[in-house]
Amino acid sequence: MRELTYVEALRECMSQEMRENENVFILGEDIGVYGGAFGVTRGMIEEFGPERVRNTPISEAGITGSAIGSALTGMQPIVELQFSDFITIAMDQLANQAAKLRYMYGGKGNVPMVLRTPAGSGTGAAAQHSQSLEAWVAHIPGLKVVQPSTAYDAKGLLKAAIDDPNPVIFYEHKLLYKTSSEDVPEKMYSLPLGQADIKREGTEVTIVATSVMVHRALEAAEVLAEEGISVEVIDPRSIVPLDEETIVQSVIKTNRVIIAHEAVKRGGYGGEIASMITESEAFDFLDAPVKRLGASPVPVPYNPELEKAMTPQTEDLVQACRESLQRA
């Protein structure tokens, strides 16, 4: 199999899809000859031309709204929103239009669009370019929310997102763009939304981790394995829809669960997952408090040490597992 980076996997998915499907086009800021702020669309305008790789003015509401309008009338647009922080500007169009049109109209009209956007800290981009706001959109019925953690998942999930007849917010992570998977098939494939992936099997404690936290969870599991602690790592891959069953079954097996995301812990989606677990069949199997790890409730700081201190690191996950198992 081929090794491909996350960026390459995304680009390959879009390119392959656009070769097959005339309804798919990309619009966003600086996605033309510049290739997008993170190089995801590099080379695409050369292949597909400016009609289908549509460089836009800096008008997030307008770009998003026009994508919704085009989706409602038969296209399958992919919006590249340059930084996920800018979703605030596009929020009316996402929350009040894209998410609701179908329901408000009594089931008529679909909005088959994807809004791709890079989230996360770790690049020194500070408070307005580093947030993880997935919980905002996950709260809105009508939107789907995807967070791929690997190149392999990125390609398959993006394909599923493009094919989905609903608006999908597709959260990429800046720190993951250069990571690679060794096994990304060239042939197009789709990974269903709402199907979690057990990234590592274990028996004593479950970590439910999203996006970049999946990698830290796997590192933590490695450290803990040396101490004889068996950790299961579950990557939900999409938080809406959420594969509740896989998480619940894992917790029933391990009796302990840590939920880790990069977003601020307060009001983060981890709270939703934690509540789901305690409301589920798994409640009676919990042998330790459900523990959430998320960022401190502060704007993302610039200084690299402060930035790192804000978000859960591998050691925090290791410690949380030990505490859960009372082996701290």
- Clarify whether 129 is annotated catalytic: yes
| Cα 129 to Cα 140: distance, rounded to the nearest angstrom | 22
Judged by CB under 8 A, the chain residues 287 through 306 that form the site for other proteins are 287-288
Applying CB under 8 A, the span of 12-20, 72-80, 181-189, 264-272 interacting with other proteins comes to: 72-80
**According to CB under 8 A, which residues from 213 to 272 bind other proteins?**
255
Cβ-proximal residues to 247 (8 Å cutoff; 6+ apart), any chain: 196, 206, 208, 234, 236, 257, 273, 276, 277, 282
Shortest CB 85 distance to other proteins, Å: 17
Q: Does residue number 97 form part of the binding site for other proteins (CB under 8 A)? A: yes
Query: Diameter of the chain by CA atoms?
Result: 59
DSSP E strand boundaries for 105-230? 114-119, 144-146, 168-173, 180-181, 197-200, 205-209
In whole angstroms, how close is the CB of 190 to other proteins at the nearest point? Answer: 17
Hey, what are 269's tokens? 């989606």
In the numeric block, the tokens 């989905």 are attached to 164
**For residue 319, which phi and psi values (nearest 5 degrees)?**
-65, -40
Shortest Å distance, C-beta 304 to other proteins: 35
The nearest distance, CB 300 to other proteins, in angstroms, is: 26
Q: Give least dist CB 196 to other proteins, A.
A: 19
Select from 73-81, 121-129, 170-178, 225-233 the region that touches other proteins (CB under 8 A): 73-81
For 91, the 3-state DSSP assignment is helix
Q: Is there binding between residue 101 and other proteins (CB under 8 A)?
A: yes
Amino acid of residue 211: S
Per the DSSP assignment, residues forming a β-bridge with 259 are 208, 292
Q: Which of 17, 129, 134, 173 is catalytic?
A: 129
Of 43, 124, 165, 299, the one binding other proteins by CB under 8 A: 165
For β-strands 231-235 and 144-146, DSSP reports them as unpaired
The answer to whether residue 286 forms part of the interface with other proteins (CB under 8 A) is yes
Residues making contact with other proteins (CB under 8 A):
25, 51-52, 54, 56-57, 59, 61-75, 77, 92-93, 96-97, 101-110, 112, 141-142, 144, 165-166, 255, 283-288, 326
Among all residues, which ones are annotated catalytic?
60, 129
